[in-house]
Amino acid sequence: MRRSLWVLLGFLGVVALAGAGSLGVDLWKSLSQSQYEVNWHYIPGKPPGFYKGTQPHGFYLRTYVNNIAYDAIQAKVGQYPDGAIIVKENYTPDKTLASITVMKKIAGYDPAGGDWFWAKYNPDGSVAAEGKLQSCASCHARVKGQDYVYSARIK
């Protein structure tokens, strides 16, 4: 009986973990449901649609922001508020989607890194990397005065 109980508890734990998802998975679901590429703003300061990119992102880029980020940029508030999201689609020279990189501001998430959650997705939406990504944070720290964002002036 004891062994059966432990097996059952172990099975339930695995099921719970499998259903828990991750912040990256949940964020992608939210982005997909919002249809960001149709309903969000192009980031101010960049042309609508494709524009020339830089490494490590891609040859061409398209960058979108949710209303929270857009309003903060327009108001030049100096720092993105909790809930601001920036989505960058990264393309090859022939304009094939290579990856999607996302920054989401989460109050208290990572004070040393500007409270940004970083995620990189494959073109199919699967998570390639997520979290307090040092490669993202260390590069974007160069523009710490713009709240870690290269694409738009917030001040």
CATH for 79: 3.50.70
| Assigned domain for 10 exists | no
The label of the residue with tokens 């870690």 reads 148
Burial (CB count <10 Å: 0-12, 13-18, 19+), residue 93:
exposed
Has residue 118 been placed in a domain? yes
Cα dihedral sign, 74-77-80-82? negative
Instruction: Determine the Cα–Cα distance for residues 99 and 92; give it in Å rounded to an integer.
Output: 9
Asked whether 24 and 120 are in contact (CB, 8 A), the reply is no
The total number of structural domains that make up the chain: 1
Joined tokens for residue 148: 């870690």
pLDDT in tens, the chain (155 residues): 444 433 333 433 433 344 446 999 999 999 999 999 999 999 999 999 999 998 889 999 999 999 999 999 999 999 999 999 999 999 999 999 999 999 999 999 999 999 999 999 999 999 999 999 988 998 999 999 999 999 999 99
Q: What is the pLDDT of residue 65?
A: 98
For residues 64 and 40, the answer to whether their CB atoms sit within 8 Å is yes
In a domain, residue 72? The reply is: yes
Would residue 12 count as lying in a domain? no
Where in the sequence is the domain holding 34, given as residue range(s)?
A: 22-146
Judge whether 129 and 92 are in contact, CB under 8 Å: no
d(CA 149, CA 89): 15
Flag whether 154 is in a domain. no
Q: Is residue 15 situated within a structural domain?
A: no
